[in-house]
Chains A and B, each alone.
Chain A
């Protein structure tokens, strides 16, 4: 048990001593009269001095030197810290007037050479040493002041800049009012400081207690040189135990160089400058019609969410979405505005199908890389089941008449039908071509025939020649007719005419030249066989004789007609032309 406690104590002690060595010089005042005395303390904290070199004191006389050592326990934050302090004190007097410098002291601690800052002292020419006790009318205003500073002097439009006001005081402050000024051209976020943490700082040899009294996060809204005018501040300083004095202070003015954002902003850029990350979750990738799907999208990062436009969710037709539920939380810790913003979309599918949700894009400008960055949600695919509402929520662009129609039901089926088979149209079928082009073709053929026939009818002799046999056969039929009527003469006359006219027409012999010799000559010319020519004459002779010596039997008459037919037929075949 004892051992355990010892270990705890030792480790605690070790931890507490683990402080960095500091080395500084401070004066009780840095403005004195010519014969005034200044107290200079050279302090080493938490260090083992290996060698020490005092300041040169070129312009000062050292009146007295002393050395002291102390160990203090101070509370820093919520920790107790032990500070071991070695102090060398010098009482010095300036040798001349004007701006004098106390040169640095040097020390070697743990092998490291440290130097104090040089201290400038103003020595005035007048002989009287100012009274060390302050009076109300002559308050030492010089050991209290406030400074404004920014964490960067150049920034992009929209990039956050931290502006801090630090109060330096050598006196006890009862209370103060925050510095106020105007911030034209900026969007600002104040950081409330409830308990300013007090630090010790040495400026030109004089130790001050310092505290950040106000911090503002600024978002430049326009490019160019933006000025922050000097801020006014009032401080109530403890004057004595009972009363305070109000002191008015003014900070320094600041000027920031603000650059415009590059022109190549993506379409999804809505003004975020800083850094962002995007996470999305979805309640499910399948749903029934009218069953809502929740899409939750969270943007997180260091930017001004108030200036950020909402990302655009584009949904395919057949979906409805309500305005998103937006929740945001921001933090200003560490002087940086950061936070997260969550959009919760309730998406209601109205039609079945498989739909893709286009990725939602959010862009921001990253001042570190000096480039736009784009974040995308994953591409979600939904499968919607069920059946859509009849004429549901998506009736856009239809007129009043159509809306009235929507209320109606479809008309009843037809109970009568007639059937077609195949393609149902005759256009382009062979039947149609036959029926339309056929008549035209038929007429054209008829036209050709008529023209051909007309050409032949131009020569009457040729016509007669062509019809010679038909005419002769007609005469023979007339002969048969005459025979039936008992006209014996007519019978033989018709046969004779048949033979005579046939020869006349067939061989184109003029009527006045028509006799047996010319016929014979014509037949010979046509290279008709002699026996056939004789047969022809024989039939003619029989007819001639019968006019005077009638041949009796009907058989003979039959024979005569048959012979006549035969001989004409044979001549028709035998003749060349």
Chain B
């Protein structure tokens, strides 16, 4: 009975403390004092709630990097990058961490147009694009209303062509918002290898042939699931099966 009370008290304390900002501050303090494990504990406690931010993943990744857990570090850099793909600190640390991994997979070089399009998409977040689209939908509504109700020789054609343009722009912005979302959250999910090394098998069975070996921290695409096994692909078109437990989906 006594221990129940104790647990209750601790729980109450945790709930009281579990405000994300407090945990964030405590994690930052621990990090500043180079108490990496404590910092990780605090940051992970935030992630147990549904609060998310680029900073929290970035700080957690830094802490994991400091203790040498490359897999977790890269996983959280990737998650931080998803939330804020233009932040230079995130890009820098993510690149630095990726230099530590053993497997060197040459990323596919994007075309000039592709690179330009991607940087254009990244000029704003998905929500900014989406809300701009919403704004244009309302503009369409406004101009459309003018068109329907005002029978003025200037306002009628103005509102007609204006409304049509805003509608096209709104639809285009919706498309852009979806494209922008696809940059950070690709259609095929991606995962990071968490085990120090994994043997990639030719079939989802323990006894099947080893095709090749991958090491901690490498980003792979997840194409299929079969029981405990995931079919993964590496950037240079190699494919194979690994145990789901050895990966973490970004």
Contacts and interface: CB of A to CB of B under 8 A. Distances in A.
B195 A353 contact: yes
| Chain B CB within 10 Å, residue with most, of A397, A442, A443, A450 | A443
A405 B96 CA distance: 7
A437 B144 CA distance: 14
A418 B53 contact: yes
Contacts of A442: 141
B177 A427 contact: yes
Secondary structure at the B interface, as helix, strand, loop or mixed, is helix
B138 interface: yes
Interface string B135-159: 0011011001100110000000000
Interface in A276-322: 316-318
A12 interface: no
A398 interface: yes
Nearest to A429: B130
Contacts, number: 139
Contacts of B167: 440
B205 interface: no
B145 A446 contact: yes
A343 interface: no
A351 B102 contact: yes
Contact of B100 (A390, A414, A424): A390
B104 A410 contact: no
A391 B140 contact: no
Given A411-B89, A414-B89, A436-B134, 4 more contacts: A354-B197, A391-B99, A413-B31, A413-B63
A402 B141 contact: no
A484 interface: no
A439 B102 contact: no
B197 A318 contact: yes
A402 B99 contact: yes
Given A408-B96, A425-B126, A355 B213 contact: yes
Interface in B25-57: 28, 31, 50-56
CB-CB nearest 5 A-B residue pairs: A353-B196, A353-B197, A439-B141, A417-B55, A414-B55
A12 B56 CA distance: 98
Interface of B: 20-21, 24, 28, 31, 50-56, 58-59, 62-63, 65, 68, 83, 89, 92-93, 95-97, 99-100, 102-104, 106, 126-127, 130-131, 133-134, 137-138, 140-141, 144-145, 148-149, 167, 170, 174, 177-178, 181, 195-197, 199, 210, 213, 215-216
A410 B93 contact: yes
Interface in A423-482: 424-427, 432, 435-440, 442-443, 446-447, 450
Interface of A: 316-318, 351-356, 384, 387-388, 390-391, 394-398, 402, 405-406, 408, 410-422, 424-427, 432, 435-440, 442-443, 446-447, 450
B102 A411 contact: no
Secondary structure at the A interface, as helix, strand, loop or mixed, is loop
Contacts of B127: 424-427
| Chain B CB within 10 Å, residue with most, of A356, A425, A442 | A425
Given A414-B89, A426-B127, A421 B52 contact: yes
Contacts of B106: 397
8 contacts: A351-B102, A391-B100, A397-B104, A405-B99, A413-B59, A417-B21, A420-B83, A450-B148
A394 B83 contact: no
